[in-house]
A and B are shown apart, each in its own frame.
Chain A
Amino acid sequence: MAEVYRTGRRAELPAWRERPSAGTQFAKALVIAVIVTVMLYPFLYVVASSFATPAAANSGGLLPTSFSLDAYRSIFAGDVVTRALLVSVGVTVAGTVLSVLFTVSTAYGLSRTKDVPGSKAALYLILLTMLFGAGIIPQYLLIRNLGLVDSYWSLILPGMVSAFNLVVVRNFFMDIPAELLESARIDGAGELRILLRIVLPLSRAVIAVIALFYAVGYWNNFFNAMLYLNDSTKWPMPQVLNEYVLQGGQLSTVTDLHQAAPPSQTVQMAVVVIATVPILAVYPFAQRYFTKGVLTGAIKG
């Protein structure tokens, strides 16, 4: 399918597909424009509010139009957000590298069920974790008994290998023609060389995709930080974002107003922007692998 789209020019449309009429094209454009607006408007509103003066942000207009950098200035004046960003970047980079490393090597081993004794059993064991979660408290006890409370490792280790990603990569590897691997073996390549020189170059798409999945997962993971990090100076961005934005959102959590007033809306929105933009910036680079990577792994198998 992907091949068809890539090479298919309009002139080469199949005979049964006529050029849509102007009316249909207009209707399509309109529908797409509406969808895009619905998607983009909230994001635009967040960005605009973060750059607005507090008065303009509360005025209730369609988009605040004033411009002020005060919200960003007040955030970066303290070290909290800067430090949280550093923690998040560190955890995301280190976590993604480790995750990809372990997922790929495990998946490769499990893709060769005939050569690796016991690999079927290991595969089922891993699949089992997709069906049953351990629950919050047992997980906490595990992390605590490993001595990882208040350690950055508690943000990485619990979700380091995702069973779903592992299956996707394994299925991708299974599709690589066995003849290819066999010829490499005849040429004298060992398993490591086969993995590095033959399998990985052929799997760039799927690896880019799972790397992105992992990176987004690490970047957004607030729950592990909430449970395992007691020291607030170690909190990553999502946990800090939670403190900035969630307070006062839910009626049921508002029980006491003698607390300080929540940060102004402009500051909240600025924190949202700071938390969203870095990971958003990664997307365009991985986008082109997306369809191919996930679908190939998922459909064939």
Chain B
Amino acid sequence: MTGAAVGAAALAACSGKTGAAVPHGDVKDLKLPAHLDPSPVPGQVVSSTAGVPVAFTRYPAPYRTVTEPPGHGGTVTTFQITYTPPPPANNRWADELDKRLGVHIKPTLVSAADLAQKTATVIAGGDIPDLFYLNTATGQAPAAAQSVLQGAFTDLTEYLSGDAVRDYPNLALFPSYAWKNASIEGRIYGVPRPEPLLQSGIPTLRLDWLRKLGMTGQPADADEMFAMLTGFRGQDPDGNGKKDTWALSSLQIYWQSTPILNMFGVPNNWRLEKDGTLTKDIETDEFEAATEYIVKLWKAGAFHPNAAANTYDQQMALWNAGKIGMSGAALNTTYIPDVPPIPGVKNWATDLGPLIPPGHDGGVASLYQSSGIFGMFAIPAKVGKSAKGKERVKELLSILNYLGAPFGSEENTFLTYGVEGWNYDLTHGVPVKSTDTSRRAELAGQYFCEPTETVLYLPGPPTMSVTAQKQAEKLIPHTIADPTVNLVSQSSVSRGPALQQNLNDAFVGIVTGRKPVSALKQLRGQWAGQGGDTIRREFQQSLAKSR
């Protein structure tokens, strides 16, 4: 629940052999959808460790998973998040999508920044589109969870739970943790967009700089980490004779600080104690130790001077200009080809790599598990009410089954890259997107429940993905989950963002020396009094209901 849980790590994801059995509390009275293993595909490497992503050594030769169009004509309205400029009116990709799905898709595209407001108004308006993107995560549209509990959406449990999901074979490949974390108080209301379990807190590191410092491997404890981060400032790792480089570009309570919190074993947002109570991360001694460490880093100049205010774009600009040793954004499969050349990085396969935080005492760090989903597609309640409505629900789920086709399939390649020869070309068997702005923009409505992000595929040396998978095998057992991930607290929705902002501001104040570390004690009291204790109580009640 880092406000900025970002990007899929190179060594991230989970649709592994079992897919289940990741450390998580069980959901009471909910039989999760069955999980099937992926059918063998050349180049696909499946790990035997639970929770570790499938790796691909090459882009699969596209294969079909759906034989006939899932829709029966007519129109399907959608409500979707988008991250790109709007699509052109003449849209070859959208026409092809309609043909493939057998229905006309009429989308409402919502920019990520407007999601919360637009979600609230559309739900309140009552005309909820047939496939509705619901993202109840903090920073998205958390208030929507309440409308789910009030019955605005069809309960999909009977259609998907247990073996029922076998009617939708592509959805049965989704990792079980995604279904579990998408469930709300023990019921399934939507088809999740699965994401890797391990994604934030594994930033990309300049391995070439690490070598310049004379370090042979990743830092092994807190002292070596300190030497590395301050060395990026003091020892001129880019060799231009100027002291113009820094280790970190952002100072926030999470984001680039996450590896350090991991190093000291700070809980993932909340810790579930043995007696069933919850402890917030800032309330722990581990957090205090991590804060002291970050204060020292600040004093030693490891942070960019504008770190407390840098926007994401500014951070990426610094990273792309070769001024920063560690990017908050994790090394990310599909993002890589779009990364402009960074000065000094000759070969990204050997000069860039994940930072694996060590335990502060030389042991292992406790890494954060993400929620493993990024929203879900729900169906409005009015659709599922009649007997005829049940057929409509099944049709809509079949459409989601098409949209959820696995990585590398013909369907997924179309959804991710578009029409071959128009939106992309195959170069040595790898799809390369067209550079034409308009043709790229045609895919603005592509964001559905596709599980692309849950696999490891790094276009480069074939061994890269497998190496990353091996690393994931080592790391996944040390991850800790956020115990509140699918719980509902009304106060967390209404007051959580402001409280989190206060915490962040106070944290920045402490690190930059405006307040002493001892101010943390006072901060905890403030947080608890201003709503933290209420949120805790509501989460504990929701916990009792769902587990």
Could you say which of B109, B195, B317 contacts A232, with CB atoms under 8 Å apart? B109
Instruction: Give chain A nearest CB distance to B250 CB in angstroms.
Output: 7
How distant is the Cα of A5 from the Cα of B108 in the complex, in angstroms? 54
How distant is the Cα of A252 from the Cα of B253 in the complex, in angstroms? 12
Instruction: Give chain A nearest CB distance to B421 CB in angstroms.
Output: 18
Q: Does B18 contact A (CB under 8 A)?
A: no
The answer to whether A256 touches B438, judged by C-beta atoms less than 8 angstroms apart, is no
The answer to whether A140 touches B4, judged by C-beta atoms less than 8 angstroms apart, is no
- A58-B321, A232-B86, A258-B334 given; A249·B127 CB < 8 A: no
The answer to whether B113 touches A250, judged by C-beta atoms less than 8 angstroms apart, is yes
Chain B interface size, as a band, is: 35 or more
Residue with the highest number of chain B CB atoms closer than 10 Å, among A79, A258, A262, A267: A258
Instruction: Give chain B nearest CB distance to A287 CB in angstroms.
Output: 33
Say which one of A124-132, A165-173, A174-182, A239-247 lies at the interface with B.
A239-247
How distant is the Cα of A248 from the Cα of B335 in the complex, in angstroms? 14
Q: Does B70 contact A (CB under 8 A)?
A: no
Instruction: Give chain A nearest CB distance to B514 CB in angstroms.
Output: 21
Could you say which of A144, A251, A253 contacts B125, with CB atoms under 8 Å apart? A144
Chain A contacts for B112, CB-based, 8 A: 247, 253, 255
Chain A interface size, as a band, is: 35 or more
Residue with the highest number of chain B CB atoms closer than 10 Å, among A79, A83, A256: A256
Could you say which of A226, A231, A248 contacts B312, with CB atoms under 8 Å apart? A248
Instruction: Give chain A nearest CB distance to B257 CB in angstroms.
Output: 13
The answer to whether A258 touches B111, judged by C-beta atoms less than 8 angstroms apart, is no
Could you say which of A60, A136, A260 contacts B84, with CB atoms under 8 Å apart? A260
The answer to whether B124 touches A140, judged by C-beta atoms less than 8 angstroms apart, is yes
Could you say which of A136, A235, A261 contacts B86, with CB atoms under 8 Å apart? A235
The answer to whether B374 touches A256, judged by C-beta atoms less than 8 angstroms apart, is yes
The answer to whether A251 touches B7, judged by C-beta atoms less than 8 angstroms apart, is no
How distant is the Cα of A251 from the Cα of B253 in the complex, in angstroms? 12
The answer to whether B255 touches A244, judged by C-beta atoms less than 8 angstroms apart, is no
The answer to whether A251 touches B250, judged by C-beta atoms less than 8 angstroms apart, is yes
Say which one of A22-30, A38-46, A70-78 lies at the interface with B.
A70-78
How distant is the Cα of A190 from the Cα of B363 in the complex, in angstroms? 92
Q: Which residue from chain A places its CB closest to the CB of B310 in the assembled complex? A: A251
Say which one of B96-104, B168-176, B213-221, B440-448 lies at the interface with A.
B440-448
The answer to whether B124 touches A248, judged by C-beta atoms less than 8 angstroms apart, is no
**8 Å CB contacts to A: which residues of B107-122?**
107-109, 111-114, 117-118, 120-121
The answer to whether A260 touches B440, judged by C-beta atoms less than 8 angstroms apart, is yes
Instruction: Give chain B nearest CB distance to A256 CB in angstroms.
Output: 6
Chain A contacts for B440, CB-based, 8 A: 260
The answer to whether A58 touches B4, judged by C-beta atoms less than 8 angstroms apart, is no
How distant is the Cα of A78 from the Cα of B4 in the complex, in angstroms? 33
The answer to whether B113 touches A246, judged by C-beta atoms less than 8 angstroms apart, is yes
Q: Does A278 contact B (CB under 8 A)?
A: no
Could you say which of A149, A231, A242, A250 contacts B311, with CB atoms under 8 Å apart? A250
Q: Does B348 contact A (CB under 8 A)?
A: no
Instruction: Give B121-139 as 1s and 0s: 1 = Cβ < 8 Å from A's Cβ atoms.
Output: 1001111000000000101
Could you say which of B125, B335, B452 contacts A257, with CB atoms under 8 Å apart? B335
How distant is the Cα of A252 from the Cα of B112 in the complex, in angstroms? 10
Q: Does A259 contact B (CB under 8 A)?
A: yes
Q: Which residue from chain B places its CB closest to the CB of A79 in the assembled complex? A: B88
Q: Which residue from chain A places its CB closest to the CB of B252 in the assembled complex? A: A251
Chain B contacts for A226, CB-based, 8 A: 111, 114, 117-118
Q: Which residue from chain A places its CB closest to the CB of B438 in the assembled complex? A: A78
Chain B contacts for A11, CB-based, 8 A: none
Q: Does A230 contact B (CB under 8 A)?
A: yes
Instruction: Give A215-251 as 1s and 0s: 1 = Cβ < 8 Å from B's Cβ atoms.
Output: 0000000000011001111010001101110111111
How distant is the Cα of A33 from the Cα of B114 in the complex, in angstroms? 39
Could you say which of A77, A136, A250 contacts B117, with CB atoms under 8 Å apart? A136
The answer to whether B84 touches A247, judged by C-beta atoms less than 8 angstroms apart, is yes
Residue with the highest number of chain A CB atoms closer than 10 Å, among B86, B137, B437: B86
Q: Does A141 contact B (CB under 8 A)?
A: yes
Chain A contacts for B312, CB-based, 8 A: 248-251, 254
How distant is the Cα of A247 from the Cα of B111 in the complex, in angstroms? 8
Instruction: Give chain B nearest CB distance to A245 CB in angstroms.
Output: 10
Residue with the highest number of chain A CB atoms closer than 10 Å, among B126, B255, B313, B443: B313
How distant is the Cα of A149 from the Cα of B120 in the complex, in angstroms? 15
Instruction: Give chain A nearest CB distance to B497 CB in angstroms.
Output: 9
Q: Does A80 contact B (CB under 8 A)?
A: yes
The answer to whether B7 touches A233, judged by C-beta atoms less than 8 angstroms apart, is no
Chain B contacts for A75, CB-based, 8 A: 437
Q: Does B183 contact A (CB under 8 A)?
A: no
Q: Does A158 contact B (CB under 8 A)?
A: no
Chain A contacts for B339, CB-based, 8 A: 261
Q: What are 28 A-to-B residue pairs whose CB atoms are below 8 Å?
A: A58-B317, A74-B437, A78-B88, A78-B438, A79-B88, A79-B90, A79-B438, A80-B88, A80-B438, A233-B86, A235-B86, A240-B86, A242-B113, A243-B82, A243-B84, A246-B113, A248-B316, A251-B255, A253-B139, A254-B6, A255-B137, A255-B374, A256-B83, A256-B453, A257-B330, A258-B333, A259-B83, A261-B339
* Residues of chain B whose beta carbon lies under 8 Å from any beta carbon of chain A: 3-8, 82-90, 107-109, 111-114, 117-118, 120-121, 124-127, 137, 139-140, 195, 250, 252, 255, 311-313, 315-317, 320-321, 329-330, 332-335, 338-340, 374, 433, 436-438, 440-441, 443-444, 447, 452-453
Q: Known pairs A79-B89, A257-B6. 6 more at Cβ < 8 A?
A: A231-B108, A244-B85, A248-B316, A256-B83, A262-B84, A263-B84
